[in-house]
A and B are shown apart, each in its own frame.
Chain A
């Protein structure tokens, strides 16, 4: 398992959830976390900085997670950072669309917070194995 310090962008409009995710990833995972409260803020960060992983809320009021990824594909076609989608509701019909947009894993809220950092690290490790 890789033990380097991962740089993770956490995108969620809910202040409380964003804070819980950031705290958990910093304290347990030792990750370097950048929190973003909207898709627009997240896109600004992605344009300026390279991340190892994006943790993205599916349902946001102004621009949804899916809309954000669609914009990202148009603006930065070579964007290859793995994206983990966090959602409270799973709709299997959406999975194919999300995969096409770079989502490598879908996590349903609520989930065990203590295990979340290791799960994300595994996602990053797996994505690095893909040439």
Chain B
């Protein structure tokens, strides 16, 4: 086989990546649940708890940025990157609404799922 970036191959790749997305959709949502829980509780508890939560939230947002971007869910990847950089720079909660960004990622995932599962065409005749 020779390398080929023809539209057919790009289309085949798009379909295959949708399959990958569907296989991992549940785990992406589980990571989002965990991230949401972490960022909502970031201001609570003693310093070491804060640090642990921050580290884990950074790891999850880092993973999500990579996987969502590579899967082509670009809006979600942008939101995940924003969370990642906010956590890295310790941007105060008054300046960035992290739970809202998590919800935005969910909406993008839902839209992507619907786009990759178009309704069946009506029967003709």
Contacts and interface: CB of A to CB of B under 8 A. Distances in A.
Contact of B20 (A19, A28, A89): A19
Given A16-B20, A24-B13, A30 B65 contact: no
Given A19-B24, A27-B16, A88-B62, A113 B9 contact: no
A16 B71 CA distance: 9
Interface string B1-16: 1111100011011001
B12 A29 contact: no
A117 B4 CA distance: 10
A37 to B, nearest CB: 14
The size bracket of the interface on B is 20 to 34
A101 interface: no
Contact of A88 (B2, B17, B66, B71): B66
Interface string B33-76: 00000000000000000000000000000110111111110000
Interface string A93-120: 0000000000000000111011001100
A113 B72 contact: yes
Interface in A13-37: 14-17, 19-21, 23-24, 27-30
A16 B24 contact: yes
Contacts of A15: 24, 27
B interface majority secondary structure: helix
Nearest to B73: A110
A66 interface: no
Interface of A: 1, 3, 5, 14-17, 19-21, 23-24, 27-30, 59, 88-89, 109-111, 113-114, 117-118, 121
19 contacts: A14-B63, A14-B67, A15-B24, A15-B27, A19-B20, A21-B70, A27-B16, A28-B9, A28-B10, A30-B3, A88-B66, A89-B62, A110-B70, A113-B17, A113-B72, A114-B10, A114-B13, A118-B3, A121-B3
Given A15-B24, A24-B13, 10 more contacts: A16-B67, A20-B67, A88-B63, A89-B88, A109-B66, A110-B68, A110-B70, A113-B13, A113-B70, A118-B5
Please list the 3 inter-chain residue pairs (A to B) with the smallest Cβ-Cβ separation, ordered nearest first.
A110-B69, A109-B66, A30-B1
